[in-house]
Structure 1
Amino acid sequence: MTYAKDDLRSALTTTSAPAPRATGPAAAPEFLDFSITAPDVVTPGGSRQWIVRGQNFVLIHTEPVPGDLIFSGELASEQVVLVIDESSGIRGSSPDSADAHTVNGPALVVVPPGASELVSTGSGQITQLIQSDELDWAARASNAGSYAQPHPHVAPLQPWPEPVGGYRWRTYRMADVPDDPKRFGRIFRTRAFMVNFIRPNNGPRNPHKLSPHFHDDFEQCSLIVAGTYVHHIQTPWGTDADQWRPEDHARVGSPSATVIPPPTVHTSQAIGSGVNHLIDIFSGPRHDFSAQPGWVLNADEYPAPRD
Structure 2
Amino acid sequence: MSEAMRAATHARHYAEPPQQTDADGTRHWITRAANFLTVVSQAEEGAVLPRDNPDEYVVLLPPGTAATIEAGGERIESKGNSLTIVPPGVSRVTVRKAGVVARIFSKRAEDLAKAAVNAATYADGAPEVADLKPWPDPVGGFRLRHYDLDKAVSPDPSPLGMRVFRSTNLMINVLMPWQKRRDETKLSPHSHEDFEQISLSMKGAFAHHLRYPWGSDKTRWREDEHARYDASPSVLVIPARVLHTTQDLGEGITWLIDVFGPPRMDFSSREGFVLNAAEYPMPTAT
TM-score class, shorter: over 0.9
Shift of 1:182: 4.0
Give the residue type in structure 2 aligned to 1:270: D
Are 1:192 and 2:169 counterparts? yes
Of the candidates 46, 49, 61, which is equivalent to residue 83 of structure 1? 61
Aligned counterpart, 1:48 = 27
**Counterpart in 2 of 1:261?**
239
Corresponding residue SS for 2:120? helix
TM-score (norm 2): 0.94
Residues 22-74 of structure 1 show CA distances to partners (whole Å, capped at 9, x for unaligned) of 324421111111011011222222222111111011211011112211x2121
Larger deviation: 223-232 or 124-133? Answer: 124-133
8 Å Cα contact 1:230/1:251 also seen in 2:
yes
Query: What secondary structure does 2:23 align onto?
Result: coil
Contact 1:203 1:272 in 2 (8 A): no
**What does residue 301 of structure 1 align with?**
279
Once superposed, what is the RMSD of the aligned Cα atoms?
A: 1.4
> Cα distance, 1:124 vs. partner?
2.7
Aligned residues: 282
Q: Determine whether 1:37 maps to 2:2.
A: no
Q: What is the alpha-carbon distance in structure 2 between the residues aligned to residue 238 and residue 138 of structure 1?
A: 29
How far 1:123 sits from its partner (Å)?
A: 2.3
Q: Which residue of structure 2 lines up, in the alignment, with residue 12 of structure 1?
A: none
Give the 5 Å matches for 1:1-307. 22-69=1-48, 71-84=49-62, 86-94=63-71, 96-97=72-73, 99-180=74-155, 182=157, 185-252=162-229, 253-307=231-285
Q: Distance in 1 between matches of 2:182 and 2:33?
A: 27
Identity, % of aligned positions = 37
* Amino acid paired to 1:229: F
Superposition deviation, residue 136 in structure 1: 1.5
CA distance in 2, matches of 1:156, 1:148: 15
Q: What TM-score comes out, normalization by structure 1 length?
A: 0.88
Contact 2:138 2:279 (8 Å CA) reproduced:
yes
Tell me, in whole angstroms, the C-alpha distance in 2 between the residues paired with 1:257 and 1:264: 16
Q: Separation in 1 of the partners of 2:90 and 2:240?
A: 34
Equivalent residue letter for 1:110: I
Q: What letter corresponds to residue 259 of structure 1 in structure 2?
A: V
Task: State how far apart, in whole Å, the 2-side matches of 1:237 and 1:181 are.
Answer: 33
Which consecutive unaligned segments of at least 5 residues does structure 2 have? Answer: none
Give the secondary-structure state (helix, strand or coil) at the position aligned to 1:125.
Answer: strand
- What CA distance in whole angstroms lies between the structure 2 residues aligned with 1:217 and 1:202? 33
Q: Does the aligned pair in 2 maintain the 1:25–1:243 contact within 8 Å?
A: no
Deviation at 1:181, TM superposition (A): 5.1
Partner Cα distance (2:97, 2:64) in 1:
6
What are structure 1's unaligned runs of at least 5 residues? 1-21
2:282 is aligned with what amino acid? A
